[in-house]
Amino acid sequence: MGPAISADAARERITSALDAIDAAHDLLRDTPSWLVGNTFRVDVAERLETQERANRGLMYRIFAELADPPDQTGSIAQVRSMLWERLRITPGEITRRFRLAARIRPRRSLTGPPLPAELPELAAAVEAGTIGDDHIRSVCRAIDLLPACVSPADVEAAERTLVKHAGRVDAGIVAKLGQRIADYLNPDGLFSEEDRARRRGLHLGTQGPDGMSRLSGWLDPETRAYVEAVEAAVRPGRHQPDNESGSRDARTPAQRCHDALKLGLETAIASGDLGVHRGHPVTVVVTTTLAELTDAAGAAPARTGGGSRLPMRDLIAMAAKSIHYLVVFDDHTERPLYLGRQKRIATADQRLICYARDRGCTRPNCLESGYRCEVHHPDDWARGGTTDADKLYFLCGHDHGIVSRGEACTVVTEEGRLGWTHGTGPPEVNHAHHDELLRGDPDPPAKPA
């Protein structure tokens, strides 16, 4: 905390400092460096790295104040939306920065002075610019791996040691040191249910160009037992995906484990015991066209309700053993045919139309898939809007809140798409879920219907 100054004086001082930094960057860019020698270049690289790290420390301070502003109250959802638009970083990165800022910045107390940061040694190093994001991740992971049986004093000592070395070596060495500290503090490898619950988790990576996705993470003992049981069922010669049962099984153990997980998930969905999701039974929702089905061999992949690509061959194989839904669109405008209902809640069939037409959130540049979306009435139900299939659109929960608070307006365009506007320009539509609209030149601004 610096000396107390007025809000206007603080804004002026911060703005002036940022202007000076911008001016210094301009000077550096305009100054040639091809004759300064490698020794000096390394010196410059070191200073630039330190400045970048110090700048990141200031960024975490701002994020901590945004999350819990001491000078006002406001909607954190609105702040997240502004950060997404202005900084052009992913929602996941915004969440990561908020979470880290909460650990390395002092915390407000409702009854007394501010509480120290959860990781004070790390906080000081970040503020000084002596460590980077890779070091921060290594230190946090090492601390988080320590079981609950380790005393607070030992945790503090471990943090101090890790941060000390982070100022001298690279993040990979810090990670190895963290593992050695964990082995020393917990030689018997004792972990509680709380420890395992904290570490459990699976991460489904982005889909690659070949349609494959990387799965990584940690299973708790119970989940592993389920996987082992299903894996045992997919023993050599059984449940082969491409060959008749009894033929030679050339799958590797890893491939059989993959097929076991696939079989277990397929069986669970087919059982109908997973309940409902936003009004209809949990199932795989896929969007395609009649033309693509006709030209299955050369057609582009279909889209699932989760936003992933599904090859037409796989879609046809799945459809052979699934309940079929048929959604009919106008040939030219892609508007769904009329399907009305005199209730506010959209029916399952109406939601499927939203899957087929919108595929995901309709806010421009939002990547949330249809599985994570709510149904939005452009003409609000409370003001006489009807729950008709061609008057319902997908919005994720975050963006639905933006519209509900009046921070943006939506309008149905002549093409039957949902356009967004903040009142300063023509409505814009989201092309992110429609590969066919991303090819070639972008569409002209949408026109209200």
Q: Per-residue pLDDT tens for 384-417?
A: 444 455 678 899 988 888 888 888 888 888 888 8
pLDDT band at 339 (very low <50, low <70, confident <90, very high): very low
What is the Cα–Cα distance from 185 to 180, expressed in whole angstroms? 9
What whole-number distance in Å separates Cα of residue 406 and Cα of residue 271?
A: 42
The angle, 0 to 180 degrees and rounded to 10, between the axes of the packed helices 91-104 and 133-145 is: 70
Q: What pairs with residue 419 in β-bridges?
A: 411
CA distance 288 to 300: 9
- The two three-digit tokens of residue 89, written as one number: 């970083």
CA distance between the termini of the chain: 54
Instruction: Give the pLDDT band (50/70/90) at residue 131.
Output: very high
- What pLDDT shows up at residue 69? 78
* pLDDT value, residue 390: 60
Distance CA(32)–CA(34), nearest Å, equals: 6
Can you say whether residue 425 is alpha, beta or left, with left for phi > 0 and alpha for psi between -120 and 50 degrees?
beta
d(CA 186, CA 147): 8
Provide the pLDDT for residue 246.
Answer: 58
Domain boundaries, given as residue ranges, for the chain? 1-31, 34-193, 212-242+250-271, 348-438
Q: How far apart, in whole angstroms, are the C-alpha atoms of residue 350 and residue 364?
A: 22
Give the pLDDT confidence of 54-95 residue by residue, as tens digits: 999 999 999 999 988 766 666 677 888 889 989 999 988 999
CA 358 to chain centre: 19
Interval 232-286: pLDDT, tens: 989 888 888 766 555 788 889 999 999 999 999 989 988 888 888 777 778 888 8
Cβ atoms within 10 A of the Cβ of 87, count? 12
Contacts of 113-116 with C-beta under 8 Å, sequence gap 24+, read none
Q: For residue 395, which of 427, 351, 439, 426 has the smallest C-alpha distance?
A: 351
pLDDT tens figures, 341-351: 334 345 566 77
User: How much is the pTM?
Assistant: 0.70
Q: Which token pair is 275?
A: 């309940």
Decide: 301 and 314 in contact? Cβ < 8 Å: no
Residues comprising the chain, all counted:
449
| Segment (H or E) for 418 | strand 418-421
Residue 24: how many CA atoms within 13 Å on its side-chain side?
Answer: 8
> H or E segment at 127?
helix 120-128
Share of the chain above pLDDT 90, in %: 41
Residue 358's contacts (CB-CB under 8 Å, 6 or more residues apart) are: 370, 373, 393, 394, 418, 433
